[in-house]
Amino acid sequence: MRSLDAFPPARWFVFACSAAGQVPALTDARNRGSVRVLERAGFTRLAVRQAPFKDELCTEFVYACHRP
């Protein structure tokens, strides 16, 4: 199973079984594979922020997939 294939059923489950208005996601900006999967799955980039990781700052992308 490809990573992208898991998103539609997981997203359906979250929205069907909860009152959640969105599904959040974070990824390191250098992780181009994760960025592609999130964007293909319909997530929208909301922010870019600096976050500490292993004693150095890295750039994170903040995403969300909103309830349809």
Half-sphere exposure of 38 (CA within 13 A, CB side): 22
- 40 near 3, Cβ under 8 Å? no
**pTM attached to this predicted model:** 0.83
> Mind listing the pLDDT tens digit of every residue in the chain (68 residues)?
677 788 788 888 999 999 999 999 999 999 999 999 999 999 999 999 999 989 999 999 999 999 98
- Give me the pLDDT at residue 7, please: 79
User: Which residue ranges make up each domain of the chain?
Assistant: 3-66
- Give me the pLDDT at residue 1, please: 64
- Give me the pLDDT at residue 50, please: 98
Q: Which fold has domain 3-66?
A: Aminopeptidase (3.40.630)
